[in-house]
């Protein structure tokens, strides 16, 4: 049986400062750093000491800091992959939320997959999803029982979609919500090869974090 743990980085400075994240390289806040410890300890409880484990992470500071806490407990070196980044919001990144002129939300109907939102340099859903799908395909090609992926809230949607083999043409509407610091568990049965979304966006390990 293969198990994947999708970890969303906890609170970062762009959250508390009201800034657009994306590829903006914000860092964990003190509360986020404490949450990263709680995430690492929770994963260590769940995964057997003798298990074969791999650790992957987006290459941005907030995810790397989270992955490093996990790495310490598993004696691993995180494999950094920029394809696990959040969506790029182009010239809006690092600016106050809502302050970028020209933004247009996607339409209710039509080609949402390739829709350009009016912000220079922003990724379309198609581009964002394609790199997440590519990363997941390569990760799943590796023979490892437990794989931890440290990523971003928006990216989780397309990693799950790839896991359940959702066709790309359906991705313009899908959204799986995963809060900062959450753990999502994906499992594949070794006999039937059914792929399950065992849990989505667990945050129970963060209850005592303040």
Q: Which residues are 93's β-sheet partners?
A: none
C-alpha pair distances (Å), 82 with each of 88, 123, 135, 167: 11, 14, 9, 23
Please tell me the chain's helix, strand, coil percentages from 3-state DSSP, rounded to the nearest 5: 35, 20, 45
- Considering the candidates 9, 14, 152, 205, report the single residue annotated as catalytic: 9
42 is catalytic: no
86 is catalytic: yes
89 in a known ligand binding site: yes
- Considering the candidates 11, 86, 93, 123, report the single residue annotated as catalytic: 86
Q: Which residues are 4's β-sheet partners?
A: 147, 186
CA 57 to chain CA centroid, Å, is: 9
62 in a known ligand binding site: yes
Phi, psi dihedral angles at 8 (to 5 degrees): -95, 135
CA dihedral in degrees (76, 147, 161, 193; nearest 10)?
160
* Residues flagged as binding site: 62, 86-89
Q: Any idea which residues carry the catalytic annotation?
A: 9, 86
* Residues flagged as binding site for substrate: 62, 86-89
């Amino acid at each position: 049986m293969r198990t994947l743990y999708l970890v969303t980085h906890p609170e970062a400075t762009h959250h508390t400062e009201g800034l657009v994240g994306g590829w903006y390289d914000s860092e964990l806040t003190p509360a986020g750093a404490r949450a990263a410890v709680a995430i690492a300890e929770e994963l260590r409880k769940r995964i057997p000491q003798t298990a074969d484990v791999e650790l992957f992470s987006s290459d941005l500071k907030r995810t790397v800091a989270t992955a490093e806490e996990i790495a310490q407990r598993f004696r691993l070196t995180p494999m950094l992959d920029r394809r696990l980044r959040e969506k790029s919001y182009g010239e809006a990144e690092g600016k106050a939320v809502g302050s970028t002129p020209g933004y247009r939300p996607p339409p209710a109907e039509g080609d949402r997959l390739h829709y350009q939102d009016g912000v220079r340099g922003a990724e379309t859903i198609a581009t964002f999803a394609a790199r997440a799908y590519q990363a997941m395909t390569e990760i799943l090609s590796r023979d490892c029982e437990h794989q931890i992926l440290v990523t971003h809230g928006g990216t989780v949607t397309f990693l799950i979609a790839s896991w359940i083999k959702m066709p790309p043409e359906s991705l313009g509407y899908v959204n799986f919500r995963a809060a900062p610091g959450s753990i999502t568990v994906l499992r594949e049965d070794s006999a039937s090869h059914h792929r399950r979304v065992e849990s989505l966006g667990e945050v129970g390990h963060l209850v005592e974090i303040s």
